[in-house]
Every structure is written in structure tokens, then in C-alpha cells.
Amino acid sequence: MTKIQDHRIAAGFIDTARIYLKAGKGGDGCASFRREKFIPYGGPDGGHGGKGGSIWFEASSNITTLAEIACHPHITAPDACPGKGNRKDGAYGEDITLYVPRGTVLKRSGTVLVDLKEHGQRFMAAKGGRGGRGNTAFKTRFNNAPKIAELGEPGEQYEARLELSVLADVGFVGLPNAGKSTLLSAISAARPKIADYPFTTLNPNIGMVSHKGKNFAAADIPGLIEGAHDGKGLGVVFLKHILRTKLLVHVVDPLGFSGMKPEKSVRVIEKELKGYHPLLAKKTVILAVNKSDLPEAAKVQEALKKKFKKREVFLISAVTGKGISRLLDRIIKLLPTIKDEDLYQAAAQSIPAAVQPKGGFKIAVEAEGVFSVKGTRIEKLIAMTNFGQGDSWDRLHRIFKTIGMDKALRKAGCVEGNLVRVGGKEFQWSEAVPTPGKPGKFAYKYKRFEQEYGG
């Protein structure tokens, strides 16, 4: 199985990617006959085609960005090999495995297909096509020398979207320059960029924290501002990364931000969280007044305790380490009490199948004298029919008659010379002159076949 490894490219942090998936086509079946000396009745011995390669996604803890996939969005799995004589089946196409970070959601047409949250979790995103059957599969007591072989089934292909939502137990939120990155670097081995100007952090940073034998993951979310849920500042780009966190630590700067008082900054951030998703308003939040070495810090802590009585307020210093141990004690005590059921879940949904009438196909009038027949099974049948074989034409016509498609077309108003489109092919409807007392005989003639083989 071919695997695409994680290459650390200099593309930066990328949390969304539009990709184009194309699974491998199945191998064509073979129509051949055994011909050996002294064996007059060899019979059909055509092998079947192999199965086309599929495309898989696998979650990995060793990857933190979708940069590799975003830079190579066109993903194509290998086709399978055709069957051969002497009953030799074709080789299968190799599957492709794409590694993505934990927390990656795969969407198709806005519908969630899978949410890859656990390390090693796999999902088949595009299934390879089935191999066509050789003529050995069509041998019957009525036809012991069939000259029919199917083409390989096309692999599944579509446009998809990947969205990454960082998985962390604790999220640090707050206005710019509050000291979130400094706090993360103080309690973990993460080394985010730290500077004394706003919006230093442009990407979420994750660090593993170990405290008194307990371990948890903490994420530093880039600074939010008023109107973030409407797209201002970094806006909704990074708000989604705190949806999955169990606990939020709101880091408060005692000096405020851009003329905004600390008390108001807490309300602004909570309003932005609630405006982005109602679930964020229900999360457990701890207030941590940073920069305790400043004279204003203790006063701000007391003011926040009075205004936010339901919130726990800690006084810390990410630089000196003061109060951090007490904050971590409270975090490791609260985390086990939060149930997974209360967290955001990107529930996978099944793509609704097209509603089809009884019989497995649907007939529509596209224009005067032009009819279209749609149906998953019948389109698959057309794709796997080899129109260069006369027996395949007879088989196709029998199937059309068996499923009642000829009667349905006649009932829809199809007459001699009309055009019938099925699975990307165009057929011309013709009606033979009926014999008295017998129903009319309907035939389908493929235009290209008429030109190449003279009808």
C-alpha cells in the first residue's frame, strides 16, 4: 500500500484545503478462448479485471497542518490492470493513504463524511472501481462461447473540502498581547513567537502540559478582538479551533487593550464566543489575570471577582511563574468532570441517495425529441459495456427490455428517430414494423457504432 508521508514544507499553518479525489478505474475484462493442440473444445478463458485503487484518509498525531495536501490538491489513485487469457485476472490498483492531523473533517458538497479525531482512525474517501468480468463469467448452457467482456468500472471522483479544528483539552483565549503565548511556553515545551506587539501569534500553537502526574494538551489561540465572529481581525479563521476544547482559560491583561478596560474586555470576548457558536457560551471558563507584577493586577482581580461571581479568577504571572501552579491544580481537577458528550461533535452524515422510481431509472424530456434516462445502476451498466462487441449490444438490449425501459420510453412519448441519452452515451430509438398480433420490437442503435461498423 502506497503511503504519502508528512513532509515539513515551508507553507505555514493551513487549516482548510479544497481537494479533488479520483479513485482508480477497474481493469477491463478479457474475452478470449482456449486454443491448444488436441483440445478441440477449449471454451472461454478470459480473466477478470482488477479492482481500482482507493483513496484513504488516516488521522495522525505527528501532523499539525494541512499544508502538504493543500499544495497537492489533485489526488489520483492508480488504475487496475486488465484481465488476460488463460483465466488470468488483472492486478489490483494500489490504494493511496493520505495522513491528516487529528481533528480533520472531510466534507462533500457541504455534507460531513467523517470526523477524524483519533490517532490511526481511517476512512475510505473514494472507492476504486470494480474490475470488469471476463467472458468466463457469461458462459451458460445456452451460450457456451460468449464473446462478451465488461469494461472496468470508473472509480469514484468528486471535489471535497478538508477542515482542521485543533484538538486540545484547554484553550487560551483573550485580547491581543494578554500573554497567552508566554503562558503556554511557561507550562509546556511549546515555543510560540513572543513579542510586545499585538497579533504576534498568527497560528494556533499546541503544547503538552504535565503537572503532578497529569497530562493535557493546551492550545494558544491567536488574539481575538471585538467583532471577531463577524470576520474582523483574525475572526472566524481561528475561532473554530476552540470548539473542541473542554476548558477555556481567559487570559486578561490588567492594562486592558487599546483603551478598553479589563472588565469590558472579558465581556467582549465572551460575547464573541457566544456569537460564533452557542456551545462556546456553555463551556467552563477560568479567568486568569496575567502580569501580576504590575500594580494594577491585584485591583483588576478583585474587580473581576465582583462582576463575574460565577467565574473563578486567578492572579498569575507567565514570566515569573507566580500563581501558575494553583491555576494548573484547578485545571487538572476540572478536566475529568467534563464529559465528552458536552463537546462539539461534527457528526458524520450519509449522502442522501437520489430518489428514483420503481425500476431503478428516471426518464426526463430534455427537449423535443430528446429523452434522458438517469439511474445509478443503469449508468454504471453503460460505463461497463464494451460497445465494440456485438454480443454486448444484444445483452444491453435484453437488460433494457427486462427492466422495462423500452416500455417506459414509449409511454413517455419516444418515437422513431428520437434521441435517448443514457450515462453519457446517445442512442437513436428505432421501432420495427410489428407483426400482426405481436407487439412492436424496439432496438437501440449507438450513433458512433453505426458510423464505425455500418450499423
Q: Which CATH class is domain 362-453?
A: alpha beta
Contact 262, 256 (CB under 8 A): yes
For domain 170-342, is the CATH number 3.40.50.300? yes
Q: How confident is the model at residue 44 (pLDDT cuts 50, 70, 90)?
A: very high
Residues 432-452: tens digit of each pLDDT: 533 333 333 444 444 433 333
* Residue 446 backbone phi and psi in degrees, to 5: -80, 130
Pick 344 or 137 by higher pLDDT: 137
State the Cα–Cα distance between residues 8 and 4, nearest whole angstrom.
12
Half-sphere exposure of 81 (CA within 13 A, CB side): 9
State the Cα–Cα distance between residues 48 and 252, nearest whole angstrom.
68
Side by side, the strands of the sheet bearing 170-173 are: 205-211, 214-220, 170-173, 247-252, 284-289, 312-315
Contact 335, 327 (CB under 8 A): no
Domain 170-342 and domain 362-453, same fold? Reply is: no
- In the DSSP assignment, the letter for residue 25 is P
Half-sphere exposure of 335 (CA within 13 A, CB side): 19
Q: How confident is the model at residue 136 (pLDDT cuts 50, 70, 90)?
A: very high
| Domain residue spans of the chain | 2-164, 170-342, 362-453
Question: Hey, what's the cell of 101?
Answer: 492531523
Residues 168-201: tens digit of each pLDDT: 788 888 887 788 888 888 888 766 655 454 455 5
Question: Hey, what's the cell of 27?
Answer: 481493469
Q: What is the mean pLDDT of the chain?
A: 80
Closest by CA to 179, choosing from 294, 325, 298, 318, is 318
State the Cα–Cα distance between residues 318 and 234, nearest whole angstrom.
24
The domain covering 2-164 belongs, at the CATH homologous superfamily level, to GTP1/OBG domain (2.70.210.12)
* Residue 265 backbone phi and psi in degrees, to 5: -60, -35
Pick 123 or 405 by higher pLDDT: 123
Name the CA dihedral angle for 267, 270, 272, 275, rounded to a multiple of 10 degrees: -120
Residues 106-128: tens digit of each pLDDT: 999 888 899 898 899 999 999 99
Give alpha helix (H) positions in 277-417: 295-307, 324-334, 376-383, 390-402, 405-412
